[in-house]
C-alpha cells in the first residue's frame, strides 16, 4: 500500500522506516527541511539503536523517501499516519494541539476521496471525533491508532508491538488499517478494535499506570529514607508477587522524557474539562512524588558534601532522560544538574549520546567528552542516567581522578558493595 507518515520525529521516522520494511511504499513528510534532507541522505537526526540500519535498508529498497510537500503527500498516499508532536502547552498542563491541528488541516486540503487518515500522536480525549468531521467531509475516513513504542527499543516495538489498538466507527476503515499491519497481525499480535474515545484513552491510561507504578515505589523510597529500610530489597520482595511484578519498580530519580510527564498532565487537564477531575486527582500526587525525587537527589548531594554545594565540583553522569536515547525532554538528570549548579556548584556533564541536545538546550552547563573527564578533581559524582557504560564502570577508574570518593547513585543501578569496597562513600535514593 502507499502510505505517508506526517511528522518524522522519534515516532514518525521509526514508523516510516518500519512500514517500508513491511513492504509498503512510504513517503515521510515533515515541515522541518533540514530533518527531511538528513533522512533522505540516510541519516537519522536523533539516536535510536537499529534505526540507521533500517532507514538505509528502506531507502535502498526504493520503498521509502521523504518530502516537505503536502501536495505530493496527498497525491501519493492511500493511508496517511499523523505522527506530529503534542508537547505540553507553556505555562499549562494541557497538550499543545497546534501541530496536530495544522497537520490535519494541511492533509484535509490535499486528501483524495477514499483515503484513510490514521492518528498516532498522543492526544486529548475527543480529538479523534473532532478531526473526523473535517476528514469525512472530503470523503476520507479516520482511525485512531495510538503508539506505544519506547525510545531505545523503537524499531523492535514498531515491528513487534505488544498489541495493536484501533479506534473508529467505520468497519471498512478499520479493515484497511488491519491490512497495513497484516504482517504484524498475522504474527499473532493481539488486536483491539474499539471506538475513538477508548483508543485515545488506552494510551493515556497506559502511561498513567506506568507513571503510577514508578511513583509508587519512589513514595516507598521516601518512607525507607526515614526508617532505614532498603527500597531495592523492598522492590525485589514485593515484585516476586506475580500480581505486582518487577518491571517499572526500580526506585530512583523517577520518570521524565517527552511522554509520561506531559501525558499525565494533559490527561488531568482534559479530565477537568470533562468534569471528571476528581477521578484523576491522584495523578497530581504521582507527578509531585516524581518531582520530589529530583529535589531529594540534590539534597543527598549536599549532605554528602558537608551541607553545602557552593564551590563544590560535581561530576554529572547522564543527560538523557533514560539510557539508549538522546532525548533530553524533561530530563531528570539535567534538571538535577541545573539545580546543583544554581546551588553554587561547578558542574561537568557527560552523556554517551545526548551531549549535543543538552548543549543546545542547557548552554550554561559544562560538557566533557568522557566520564573520567567529568570526574576529574570532582568532590562528588552523581549517577543520573543508567547507561550500561556507567553500570559497567569500575570504581577504581573514577577513583583515580576524583578529589573525593563520593557518589550518589540516582538510579540504584550501581553495585554498592563494589564501590564501597574501593573506599567510596556510596549513597542512593531510598537506601541506607
Active site residues: 259
Across 79-112, b (16+ Cβ under 10 Å) vs e yields: bbbbbbbbebbeeebbbbbebbeebbebbbebbe
Residue closer to ligand NAD, measured from CB, 89 or 292: 89
Residue closer to ligand NAD, measured from CB, 45 or 395: 45
Contact residues for ligand NAD, defined by CB under 6 A? 6-12, 29-32, 35, 83-86, 99, 102-103, 106, 121-122, 147, 149, 151, 258-259
Identify whether the C-beta of residue 208 lies closer than 8 Å to the C-beta of residue 283.
yes
* Cα separation, 205 vs 157, whole angstroms: 19
Identify whether the C-beta of residue 235 lies closer than 8 Å to the C-beta of residue 309.
no
Count of C-beta atoms within a 10 Å radius of residue 401: 15
Give the nearest distance from C-beta 238 to ligand NAD in angstroms: 28
Give the nearest distance from C-beta 290 to ligand NAD in angstroms: 17
* Cα separation, 129 vs 142, whole angstroms: 9
Give the nearest distance from C-beta 83 to ligand NAD in angstroms: 6
* Cα separation, 274 vs 268, whole angstroms: 10
Residue closer to ligand NAD, measured from CB, 115 or 149: 149
Give the nearest distance from C-beta 259 to ligand NAD in angstroms: 5
Count of C-beta atoms within a 10 Å radius of residue 228: 8
Residue closer to ligand NAD, measured from CB, 31 or 129: 31
Give the nearest distance from C-beta 101 to ligand NAD in angstroms: 9
Q: Where are the alpha helices (DSSP H) in 79-123?
A: 98-108
Residue closer to ligand NAD, measured from CB, 99 or 362: 99
* Cα separation, 345 vs 373, whole angstroms: 17
Residue with the CB atom nearest ligand NAD in the bound state: 9
Sign of CA dihedral 71, 77, 80, 85: negative
Amino acid at each position: 500500500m502507499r502510505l505517508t507518515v506526517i511528522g518524522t520525529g522519534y515516532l514518525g521516522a521509526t514508523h516510516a522506516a518500519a512500514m517500508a520494511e513491511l513492504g509498503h511504499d512510504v513517503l515521510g513528510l515533515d515541515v522541518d527541511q533540514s530533518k527531511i534532507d538528513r533522512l533522505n541522505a540516510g541519516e537519522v537526526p536523533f539516536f535510536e539503536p537499529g534505526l540507521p540500519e533500517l532507514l538505509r535498508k528502506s531507502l535502498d529498497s526504493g520503498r521509502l523517501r521523504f518530502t516537505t510537500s503536502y501536495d505530493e503527500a496527498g497525491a501519493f498516499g492511500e493511508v496517511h499516519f499523523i505522527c506530529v508532536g503534542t508537547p505540553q502547552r507553556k505555562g499549562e498542563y494541557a497538550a499543545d494541539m497546534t501541530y496536530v491541528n495544522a497537520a490535519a488541516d494541511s492533509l484535509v486540503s490535499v486528501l483524495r476521496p477514499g483515503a484513510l487518515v490514521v492518528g498516532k500522536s498522543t492526544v486529548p480525549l475527543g480529538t479523534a471525533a473532532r478531526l473526523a468531521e473535517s476528514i469525512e467531509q472530503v470523503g476520507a475516513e479516520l482511525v485512531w491508532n495510538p503508539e506505544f513504542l519506547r525510545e531505545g527499543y523503537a524499531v523492535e516495538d514498531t515491528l513487534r508491538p505488544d498489541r495493536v489498538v484501533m479506534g473508529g466507527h467505520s468497519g471498512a476503515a478499520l479493515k484497511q488499517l488491519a491490512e497495513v499491519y497484516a504482517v504484524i497481525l498475522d504474527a499473532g499480535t493481539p488486536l483491539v478494535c474499539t471506538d475513538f474515545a477508548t483508543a485515545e484513552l488506552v494510551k493515556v491510561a497506559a502511561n498513567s499506570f506506568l507513571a503510577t507504578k514508578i511513583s509508587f515505589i519512589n513514595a516507598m523510597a521516601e518512607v525507607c529514607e526515614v526508617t532505614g529500610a532498603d527500597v531495592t530489597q523492598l522492590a525485589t520482595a514485593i515484585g516476586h508477587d506475580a500480581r505486582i511484578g518487577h518491571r517499572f519498580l526500580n526506585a530512583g530519580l523517577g520518570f521524565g522524557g517527552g511522554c509520561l510527564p506531559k501525558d499525565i498532565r494533559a490527561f488531568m487537564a482534559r479530565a477537568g474539562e470533562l468534569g471528571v477531575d476528581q477521578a484523576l486527582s491522584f495523578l497530581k500526587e504521582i507527578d509531585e512524588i516524581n518531582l520530589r525525587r529530583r529535589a531529594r537527589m540534590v539534597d543527598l548531594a549536599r549532605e554528602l558534601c558537608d551541607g553545602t554545594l557552593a564551590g563544590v565540583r560535581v561530576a554529572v553522569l547522564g543527560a538523557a532522560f533514560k539510557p539508549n536515547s538522546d532525548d533530553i525532554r524533561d530530563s531528570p538528570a539535567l534538571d538535577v544538574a541545573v539545580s546543583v549548579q544554581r546551588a553554587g556548584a561547578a558542574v561537568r556533564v557527560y552523556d554517551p549520546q545526548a551531549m549535543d541536545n543538552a548543549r543546545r538546550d542547557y548552554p550554561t552547563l559544562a560538557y566533557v567528552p568522557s566520564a573520567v573527564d567529568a570526574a576529574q578533581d570532582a568532590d562528588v559524582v552523581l549517577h543520573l542516567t543508567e547507561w550500561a557504560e556507567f553500570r559497567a564502570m569500575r570504581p577504581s577508574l573514577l577513583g583515580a581522578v576524583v578529589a573525593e570518593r563520593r557518589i550518589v547513585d540516582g538510579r540504584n543501578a550501581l553495585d554498592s558493595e563494589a564501590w564501597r569496597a574501593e573506599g567510596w562513600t556510596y549513597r542512593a535514593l531510598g537506601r541506607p
